[in-house]
Amino acid sequence: MNPGLLAVFGAFVIWGMFPLYWHQLQNVPALQIIAHRVVWCALLVVGYLTVFRGRGWLRAALARPRVPAMLALSSVLVSLNWGLYIWAINNGRVVESSLGYFINPLVNVLLGVLLLRERLNRAQWAAVALAASGVAYITWHLGTLPWIALTLALSFGSYGLIRKIAAVESIPGLGVEGVYLFLPAAAYLLWTEHVGTGAFGHVSLYENVLLVVGGAITAVPLIWFAYGARLIPYSLVGIIQYVGPTLQLLTAVFIFHEAFTHVQAVGFGLIWLALVLYAGDGLIRARRPKPPLLQPATEAALD
User: Burial letters for 15-33: b for 16+ Cβ neighbours within 10 Å, e otherwise?
Assistant: bbebbeebbebeebbbebb
Q: How far is CA 192 from the centre of its chain?
A: 28
Q: Evaluate whether 151 touches 159 at the Cβ level (below 8 Å).
A: no
pTM: 0.83
Question: For residue 148, which of 105, 84, 89 has the smallest C-alpha distance?
Answer: 84
User: What pLDDT sits at residue 224?
Assistant: 85
| pLDDT of the residue at 13 | 93
From first to last of its 303 residues, the chain has per-residue pLDDT tens of: 678 889 889 988 999 999 999 999 998 999 999 999 999 999 999 999 999 999 899 999 998 889 999 999 999 999 999 999 999 998 999 999 998 888 887 787 788 878 877 787 888 888 888 888 988 888 888 778 889 999 999 998 888 888 878 888 888 988 999 999 999 999 999 999 999 999 998 999 999 999 999 988 988 887 788 778 777 766 567 677 788 888 999 999 999 999 888 988 998 898 888 888 877 877 777 677 765 544 544 443 334
b/e per residue, 233-265, with b = 16+ CB within 10 A?
Answer: eeebbbebbbbbbbbbbebbbeeeebeeeeebe
* Each residue's pLDDT tens digit, 47-58: 999 999 998 999
Of 257, 266, 237, 254, the residue nearest 137 (C-alpha)? 266
Q: What is the pLDDT of residue 200?
A: 93
Return d(Cα 286, Cα 171) in angstroms, integer: 27
- Burial (CB count <10 Å: 0-12, 13-18, 19+), residue 291: exposed
Nearby residues of 202 by Cβ (< 8 Å), 6 or more positions away: none
| Residue 135, pLDDT score | 85
- The pLDDT assigned to 73 comes to 94
Write the DSSP symbol of residue 143.
S
Torsion of CA 248, 45, 157, 111, to 10 degrees: -150
Q: How far apart are CA 196 and CA 176, in angstroms?
A: 31
Q: How many CB atoms are located within 10 Å of the residue 232 CB? A: 18
User: Which whole-number Å values give the CA distances from 83 to 8, 35, 138, 151, 163, in the listed order?
Assistant: 24, 9, 24, 11, 19
Backbone angles phi, psi at 17, to 5 degrees: -95, 0
CB 19 within 8 A of CB 256: yes
Angle at 158 between CA 153 and CA 162, to 5 degrees: 150
| Per-residue pLDDT at 294 | 46
